Amino acid sequence: MFLRFSTVCLCIVLLASCAKTRIKEHEEWGKFYEEYGIKNAGFILRDNNHESIHYFNQKRCTERFLPASTFKVFNSLVALETAVAPDDQLVIKWDGVTRREEWNKDMDMREAMKVSCLPYYQELARRIGPARMQHYLDTVKYGNMQMGGGIDNFWINNTLKITPDEQTGFMKKLYFTELPFSERSQRIVKTLMLREQTPEYNLYYKTGTGYDGDKTIYWVVGFAEKIMNVKEPEGSMNKSDVRYYPYFFAQNFEMPKSDTSKDWMKVRIEILHKLLKEYGAI
């Protein structure tokens, strides 16, 4: 009996040790933020190939923030699933209100995602309605699942909140079509997120910019596919030598609203590239 108990205890210790080796903090990644004078930032990367998690600033990676325009990924999924949008070619007419130049026209979902058109997605949310939206927030368990301040405002008014860690989990499920949406809906939304295509990698992401008091919150969430050519042995069941290795990520940092010293929307993508290259994901 004692031997059996000791064996069980040893297995538990070994499993705990393995789990720890798969979660690694990278304090050195702070250099990429220091370079731009960013003091409050977090980055998390899930390496699916090695079943490991890598992060900078664990506290921020587990803190919830408004999702801002990263919510357009979720909003698109619900619109497609409920047939509010039959497909990504659904055109919503411009309401005539002058906002950003790239928003001031009729557009379909594909272009609306590309230019992150808030009015388009607010109209989608209104057509979806509170009941159906809440149903999917609860089913997916998206962040704190809270809606308040109106069906077309809750993801930008600090009611709905989500952590960077939760964002990467959401991205991983989307990638593997494991969300409670049809394969078709998830496949379409993934194509909407594709931003960079090279022979070495594909990069899918959605940015988000929101306001919390006197702070501006900057997001980038998504996944990278590293493309590798692997020679398959003769007779292999795999008919292609091309392999795609996914990495899921979420970056979040803040700056004072008054700080216009740099183009922070551009900076977040520059930092993302540096982090993914440092790790070897692209």
| Separation of alpha carbons 196 and 203, rounded Å | 5
14: its two tokens: 């070994």
| Separation of alpha carbons 220 and 204, rounded Å | 10
The catalytically annotated residue of 6, 69, 76, 182 is 69
| Separation of alpha carbons 204 and 193, rounded Å | 5
Q: Which uninterrupted H or E stretch holds 43?
A: strand 40-47
Q: Which uninterrupted H or E stretch holds 218?
A: strand 215-229
Catalytic residue list contains 69: yes
Query: Could you identify the residue written with the tokens 């988000």?
Result: 208
Specify the 3-state DSSP secondary structure of 242.
strand
What is the 3 state secondary structure string of 109-153? Answer: HHHHHHCCCHHHHHHHHHHHCHHHHHHHHHHHCCCCCCCCCCCCC
- From residue 8, alpha-carbon distances to 16, 18, 20, 22 in Å are 12, 15, 19, 22
Active site residues: 69
